[in-house]
């Protein structure tokens, strides 16, 4: 009972921001509004909820389910075509942080591992864990990553829409959604289809987390439901209400990290972190136009798929912005795996050369 009440409390702190952003017609208002609303509550210390055990995993599974159910055979063929450009994105996001990390280290006096891990576009938790294993300042890495993620999630939707409009003159240019239009007619047993998709999403989320994948709950749920959807299983998509719950909760969880202590420490490194974030956004926009030229995707999809944000957060709002969630997920997933596989040994080599 306490877990359920804490869960409702967590969602409740995100509702004011959601309603405000919806009133102001801000893109992706649910997660963006919840993030800022929860952050405001956390900084002020007003009724900050106890985060329920496993809440992050629950939200990841819900959002992964909604992406996975879109995975048809046609989408699988598109994925195969996209692997090359996804690897390009992974390499692209390794090169810039090395240069930025060296600059931040030399200019602001931070140690090199902390500078690199603080500027590379990986997850907050994942980069912090990597920092601990490399004797870097994990707290500072987490702060820099939090500022980057927050800035990208707030600024990139607005920036993407503006760039898209200036290039194309309209907003909604994405390809047709990959969910079959006749999905309701193919369901002979709606309850059975709902049970199957929920069971697959939970099993996939738990498996991905157990295997230690980046955003394991999201990736696992997406993979399991996607494989079943591509195989033609009778899946029954959940109502959009559940996706809204996932976005609301995930935004609130991110916002609750903005404690007064974190804000105070972040203020001391605000200038380098802000400069790094702006450069990374520009670096991502350059990559977006390269991907658009190579793949022919619409501009919104390219911008969201190549910006330095988190896979779970960006994939969950891609649909609302007019981007293709599957393509967005693929590029971010390959980017994360490239970073996690290549960056640790690369930093060790750089440190040896630096020494």
Range list of β-strands (E), the chain: none
Distance CA 140, CA 145 (A): 9
Q: 43-92: per-residue pLDDT in tens?
A: 887 777 778 888 888 988 998 888 788 777 666 676 778 888 888 888 88
- Are the CB atoms for 157 and 317 separated by under 8 Å? yes
Distance CA 171, CA 162 (A): 9
Distance CA 147, CA 34 (A): 16
What b/e string do you get for 317-330 counting C-beta neighbours within 10 Å, with b at 16 or more? bbbbbbbbbbbbbb
Long-range contacts of 162-166 (CB under 8 A, 24+ apart): 163/285, 163/299, 163/303, 164/298, 164/299, 164/300, 164/303, 164/322
Q: Which residue has 């997660």 as its token pair?
A: 31
Domain annotation for the chain: domains and CATH numbers: 2-354 (1.20.1530)
pLDDT, residue 178, reads 43
pLDDT, residue 74, reads 67
- State yes or no: pLDDT of 177 exceeds 50: no
- Return the number of other C-beta atoms located less than 10 Å from residue 166's C-beta: 9
* SS3 state of residue 329: helix
Between 32 and 91, where is the model more confident? 91
Q: 191-206: per-residue pLDDT in tens?
A: 888 889 999 999 999 9
Determine phi and psi for 212, rounding to 5 degrees: 80, 25
pLDDT, residue 211, reads 87
- State yes or no: pLDDT of 207 exceeds 90: yes
Distance CA 82, CA 302 (A): 12
pLDDT, residue 286, reads 93
Average pLDDT over residues 5-34: 84
- State yes or no: pLDDT of 293 exceeds 50: yes
Among candidate residues 232, 231, 236, the one with its CA nearest the CA of residue 197: 236
pLDDT, residue 181, reads 42
Tell whether pTM > 0.75.
no
pLDDT, residue 201, reads 93
- Are the CB atoms for 333 and 126 separated by under 8 Å? no
Sign of the C-alpha dihedral computed for residues 341, 343, 345 and 346 taken in this order: positive
C-alpha gyration radius of the chain: 20
pLDDT, residue 133, reads 66
């Amino acid at each position: 009972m306490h877990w359920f009440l804490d869960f409702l409390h967590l969602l409740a702190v995100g509702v004011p921001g959601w309603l405000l952003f919806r009133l102001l017609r801000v893109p992706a208002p649910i997660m963006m509004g919840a993030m800022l609303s929860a952050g405001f509550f956390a900084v002020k210390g007003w009724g900050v909820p106890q985060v329920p055990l496993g809440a992050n995993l629950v939200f990841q599974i819900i959002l992964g389910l909604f992406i996975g159910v879109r995975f048809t055979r046609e989408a699988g063929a598109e994925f195969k075509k996209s692997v090359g450009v996804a690897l390009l994105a992974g390499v692209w996001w390794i090169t810039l942080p090395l240069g930025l990390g060296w600059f931040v280290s030399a200019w602001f006096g931070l140690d090199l591992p902390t500078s690199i891990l603080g500027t590379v576009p990986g997850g907050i938790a994942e980069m912090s864990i990597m920092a601990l294993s490399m004797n870097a300042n994990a707290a500072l890495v987490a702060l820099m990553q939090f500022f980057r993620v927050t800035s990208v999630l707030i600024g990139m939707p607005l920036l993407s829409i503006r760039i898209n409009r200036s290039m194309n003159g309209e907003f909604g240019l994405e390809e047709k959604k990959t969910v079959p239009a006749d999905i309701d007619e193919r369901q002979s047993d709606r309850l059975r289809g709902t049970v199957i998709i929920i069971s697959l999403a939970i099993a996939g989320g738990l498996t991905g987390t157990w295997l230690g994948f980046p955003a394991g709950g999201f990736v696992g749920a997406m993979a399991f439901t996607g494989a079943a959807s591509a195989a033609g299983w009778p899946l029954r998509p959940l109502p959009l209400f559940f996706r809204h719950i996932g976005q609301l909760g995930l935004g609130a969880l991110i916002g609750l990290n903005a404690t007064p202590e974190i804000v105070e420490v972040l203020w001391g490194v605000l200038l380098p972190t802000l400069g790094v974030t702006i450069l990374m956004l520009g670096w991502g926009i350059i990559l977006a136009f390269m991907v658009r030229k190579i793949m022919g995707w619409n501009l919104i999809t390219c911008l969201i798929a190549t910006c330095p944000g988190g896979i779970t957060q960006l994939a969950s709002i891609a649909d609302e912005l007019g981007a293709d969630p599957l393509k967005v997920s693929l590029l971010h997933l390959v980017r994360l795996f490239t970073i996690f596989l290549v960056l640790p040994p690369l930093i060790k080599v750089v440190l040896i050369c630096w020494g």
